[in-house]
Structure 1
Amino acid sequence: MAGHSKFKNIMHRKGAQDKKRSAMFSKLSREITVAAKMGMPDPDMNPRLRLAVNNAKSQSMPKDNIQRAIDKATAGEGDDYEEIRYEGFGPGGVSLIVEALTDNRNRTVTSVRTAFSKNGGNMGSAGSVAHGFDRLGLISYPGSAGDEEKVLEAAMEAGAEDIESSEDGHDIWTSMDDLHEVAGALEKALGEAESVKLAWRPHTRVEVGESEAQTLLKLIDILDDDDDVQTVWGNYDVSDEVMEKLGA
């Protein structure tokens, strides 16, 4: 898939993430601490922690920050966070999945509901949009990893299920269970990935026009700015032309 149906744009604009590096590090640290508390504090023995650490490294998070987050868990420090998934609808009938880690469910649900209601959307009940997505593993590589044919061949040999390539890079999809095995095989063939994570992949995508896209991206920005929100996923597709008009 080309253009803004690519993963980096489904989960919103990478440029916006880069401007919020401090907040992003805080969210990555929270995930590392939670993962370490739930299992062994050794990434080699804890798949979720390994995933969290790899994601932190892919965002250039300093090693000291990563280790501090793990140490918090082993020392029994830090708040006890609860994983919550919210689902809702944005402008133009777009489906959104909001993943959060919170120590105060009431605070988080109020913030998320307010963001939806004030920006052309509305929250739905649990399961209201998740049925339109698949929960999969996602491995992303930059375009410099190789051309589509090279990456496709490596992905097939590694046991991946699907690949989407564009001039921006390559998104390789796997089943949840195969994510770590496929990522390891790809690292040997293509080098270190840009990111390795669990993702929500939509069955279909909704084309969003300029006016609706502006409101939608504002909604996603507000959700993403919430300290409790880890990731926002959606099934929107915004054309390059519209993104350019919006300065995104």
Structure 2
Amino acid sequence: MAGHSKWANIQHRKGKQDKIRSKMFSKLSKEITVAAKMGDADPDKNPRLRLAVKAAKSLSMPKDVIDRAIKKSQAGDAADYTEIRYEGYGANGIAIIVEAMTDNLNRTASNVRSYFTKSGGNLGQSGSVSHGFDRVGEISYPVEVGDADTVMMAALDAGADDVVSDDDGHWIYCAMESLNDVSDALEKALGESTESKLIWKPQVLTEVDLETAQKLMKLIDLLEEDDDVQDVTHNFDIPEDVAAQLDA
């Protein structure tokens, strides 16, 4: 199904996230603080904060770090962050969505624009590429949780819209506004998920060649290394033979 990129999960499995673990902790701490500041400091009463805490726990963030991030939201000197989305094109017109959280819009915009330029792409106007994506909830489970039919039945019973299962795991999709309810129902049926979050799901995936893949991975690495960038989404898929050459 369009939207599920096996390469993204290969990257995750091979430890890409481990290399930037400290940055992930920093980004998640920021999200927790902002979510708690915008709503209730109790995750049970704040859906956005609950998702952020769940994401932090999925990466084994220590409880005291999570608690500190929540308490920081109640401090009078907590930084004010602006959430902003950038849209642009990578090599060969591949669509890229960048979600950022910043206390300096000029700095972030300048940095993001430079990353696109350095990698053979260009930053576009707001809305220039997001029309090719759907904003949905995504809940992931490891392959060990059950076979495809078992997960499909549980997902449909929980109110999900679609499921993708392969040798790497199960990905369940639902309406954006239903994410918390579907996630809760699935937790009762299948246990705790690996991850539960809102995503930009591409309507169509585009396979890329080696040269394009190298430029795109350079762009994504630059973006993900930036402290202001929270998430990066794209609509490309890397065929297994090209992925093998990237790993070589």
Q: TM-score interval w.r.t. the shorter chain?
A: over 0.9
Structure 2 distance, partners of 1:12, 1:72, is 35
Structure 1 distance, partners of 2:243, 2:155, is 30
Deviation per CA, 1:171-216: give whole Å up to 9, x if none: 1000011101110111111110000000000111111111110110
Residue 10 of structure 1 and its aligned partner are, at CA, apart by 4.8
Unpaired segments of 5 or more residues in structure 2?
none
Kindly tell me: are residues 33 and 9 of structure 1, through their superposed partners in 2, closer, same or farther at Cα, counting changes over 3 Å?
farther
Q: Residue in 1 aligned with 2:179? A: 179
Paired AA for residue 65 in structure 1: V
Identity %: 57
Structure 2 distance, partners of 1:196, 1:158, is 14
Q: Residue in 2 aligned with 1:6? A: 4
Kindly tell me: are residues 93 and 114 of structure 1, through their superposed partners in 2, closer, same or farther at Cα, counting changes over 3 Å?
same
Deviation per CA, 1:32-77: give whole Å up to 9, x if none: 0000000110001111101110110111111000000000001233
Residue 11 of structure 1 and its aligned partner are, at CA, apart by 8.4
Q: Any runs of at least 4 consecutive aligned residues in structure 1 with deviations exceeding 6 A, and if so which?
A: none
Q: Count how many residue pairs are aligned between Structure 1 and Structure 2.
A: 246
Residue 7 of structure 1 and its aligned partner are, at CA, apart by 4.7
Unpaired segments of 5 or more residues in structure 1?
none
Structure 2 distance, partners of 1:80, 1:11, is 33
Q: Residue in 1 aligned with 2:207? A: 207
Alignment check: 8 A CA contact 2:87 2:128 kept: yes
Structure 2 distance, partners of 1:12, 1:91, is 21
Q: Residue in 1 aligned with 2:160? A: 160
Q: Residue in 2 aligned with 1:224? A: 224
**If the length of structure 1 is used for normalisation, what is the TM-score?**
0.95
SS of match in other structure, 1:13: helix
Deviation per CA, 1:90-115: give whole Å up to 9, x if none: 11221000000000000000000000
SS of match in other structure, 1:126: coil
Structure 2 distance, partners of 1:57, 1:12, is 21
SS of match in other structure, 1:108: helix
Q: Residue in 2 aligned with 1:65? A: 65
SS of match in other structure, 1:76: coil
1:121-140 matches, cutoff 5 A: 121-140=121-140
Structure 2 distance, partners of 1:16, 1:121, is 23
SS of match in other structure, 2:160: coil
Structure 1 distance, partners of 2:234, 2:76, is 35
Alignment check: 8 A CA contact 1:89 1:124 kept: yes
1:1-248 matches, cutoff 5 A: 1=1, 6-7=4-5, 9-10=7-8, 13-14=11-12, 15-247=15-247
